[in-house]
Structure 1
């Protein structure tokens, strides 16, 4: 009986030493991202990036009530696709938006969007 108790104790101690805790087991589980996917040059679209950029950077001057809507009227993706001056003004000559308020990342994403054929 003493031998069985000794073996049982040895097995129990070994199990305790090598068993992972509940917290460790949780840490080992792969996590599923719950937030929005980051916009990259590979997945950029009008919906996930370009539309909001045009809305925030262009709409105040070129929107329906903007002062220079007669030069170019921003009214959604069609207005961008139908006017090649947009890409040229923003990415080549960098004359728009006024004050050069685009970051390097915004320019890179916008360039990728134009390069991909302006996906919606």
Structure 2
């Protein structure tokens, strides 16, 4: 790029800015110059994707939790019932899929 004049390049850039041209290619003295408004597209080579490995844990059984199975009234004491949950101003809405909310029981029903 010894042959390229910086003033010439600045002039090309100003000409592109002032015009509707998207890019310009110039070869001068064995040197090729390409000026473009948009970057050259890059080619991305993606390798093959490996299938994810899925494993399932066995469901826990009662034998896995001996303390919970033998939980009962302690010696000489009486079992106390858990206090009732405080009343909430919200309603639990159960749906067949996580994150799905149906305002009415069917599409024809009023909301």
TM-score (norm 2): 0.20
Higher relative contact order (CA 8 A, sep 6+): 1
Q: Give the structure with the larger strand fraction.
A: 2
Which structure has the larger Rg? 2
